[in-house]
Amino acid sequence: MATSVKIILRKKQNKDGSFPLALRITKDRKSSYVYLGHNILESYWDEKNHRVKKSHPNSVRLNHFLTTKLAEAEENLLDLKTQKAAISAKTIKRKIKGSKEASFFAQAQLYLDSLKKQGKYNRENCDKSRINAFKEYLDNSDIAFQDITVSLLMRYRAYLRGEKKLAEQTVVNYLTIIQTVYNLAIANQVADIRQYPFGKDKITLKAQKSMKIGLMQEEVLALEVLELPHNSYMHHARNIWLFAFYFAGMRVSDVLRLTWADFQNNRLFYAMGKNAKGGSMKVPEKALAILKQYKRKEPVHNLVFPDLEVIEDMSDTYIVQKRIAYEIMKLNAALKDVAKEAGITKPLTMHIARHTFGNISGDKIPVQMLQKLYRHTSITTTINYQANFMFKDVDDALDAVIG
């Protein structure tokens, strides 16, 4: 159905007897109104020609103003049609009127608010710091989307590499959040896709492949046999790390959320938090030995490990993720000391448990089985991940030349 934009005298009388001039936007028989900030008496309005009568003392100026506003509205409507955007009366109104949320950092706040509502603390926390870094670069001032140009982003990228000394993948992450917010603004009809600074011949963002280094089998053994006081936090951190390793490098966020009900008939049943992919695994004897250390009467929330027992409501995903992030920092800090005690020079963090399983398994386990163990949705993800730890072919090729 046709869309129309007209100037009308809105029949909502003011206290002084005048009526407001407005743009009426009609689409699919639904209308929205944009008030133009001028009011006149009904006797001065030419209803047939949609203009102010000559008898009004400022008719020439008012009619010029109305003609300009109507032309702007029709141009905005044409823009929306050109972009093949979903057009409604309210969408056109928002395009014409503009929005307090049309600036970059206003849209960025909407994005962060959305993450918080979804309970995604980790994403919100990381992306908030990246958004704040961009704001700091702009001297804490806001910026319109049309001013986020290719040249600006190239200068920002150089600033992150040079002055901030950030790694290339970190730089990509900082630019990606700008792209994400820009995409949101386009979806919200507050940014013009024609001014989009990302893509071919503009700013391209490509994830960098990072090195994944895990422990060797003898280093895991060194952790297992290390004597630590049973009531110490270092002992607890070592237990959590080994437990994650024993279950194919289970993510620490999943380890800390395990409940006793997840263990049935010497099997662990759980769904991975990252992609909700479920499954079960036999509980290894070494993992059973760790579980016995945490048996206690009436554990809070029936949790296996006590790290999250301070949380009142485990259904509040935002609070749970926030607490997990805090506990991971504590565990990683303790693991540094554990590594020193065990004589391990490689970085020892909770995430290294996953890399360690990949490193030791190498090419010994079929990739289809590894996909099940890792809980990857796509086998391609498993192949790409495991490629970080499969060195035999490369080593044999090198030996064939220099051996």
Of 58-62, 188-192, 253-257, the range with the lowest mean pLDDT is 188-192
Is residue 314 assigned to a domain? yes
Q: Which residues contact 355 (CB under 8 A, 6 or more apart)?
A: 212, 213, 214, 215, 249, 388, 389
Tokens of 8: 């009308």
Q: Residue 73's pLDDT is what? A: 79
**Is 100 a residue whose pLDDT tops 70?**
no
Tokens of 212: 């994944």
Alpha-carbon distance of 148 to 153, in angstroms, equals 7
Tokens of 295: 């048996």
pLDDT band, very low/low/confident/very high, at 372 (cuts 50, 70, 90): low
CB neighbours of residue 157 within 10 Å: 18
Q: Residue 289's pLDDT is what? A: 95
Q: Are residues 246 and 360 in the same domain?
A: yes
Which CATH number covers residue 146? Answer: 1.10.150
Q: Which of 19-28, 91-100, 260-269 has the highest mean pLDDT?
A: 260-269
Among 62, 97, 132, where does a domain finish?
A: 97
Q: Are residues 140 and 170 in the same domain?
A: yes
- Domain containing 357 equals 217-396
pLDDT digits over 210-242, tens only? Answer: 666 778 889 999 999 999 999 999 999 999 999
Q: Residue 381's pLDDT is what? A: 59
**Is 85 a residue whose pLDDT tops 90?**
no
Tokens of 60: 């020439």
Q: Are residues 226 and 373 in the same domain?
A: yes
Number of domains composing the chain:
3
CA 182 distance to own-chain centroid: 13
Q: Which residues contact 35 (CB under 8 A, 6 or more apart)?
A: 10, 20, 21, 22
pTM: 0.63
User: Average pLDDT of 365-392?
Assistant: 60
pLDDT digits over 135-180, tens only? Answer: 999 998 889 898 999 999 999 999 999 999 999 999 999 999 999 9
Token pair 């071919």 is found at 200
Among 195, 225, 252, where does a domain finish?
A: 195
Q: What is the DSSP letter of 333?
A: H
Q: Residue 334's pLDDT is what? A: 96
Q: Which residues contact 341 (CB under 8 A, 6 or more apart)?
A: 226, 228, 234
Tokens of 296: 């206690």
Which CATH number covers residue 241? Answer: 1.10.443.10
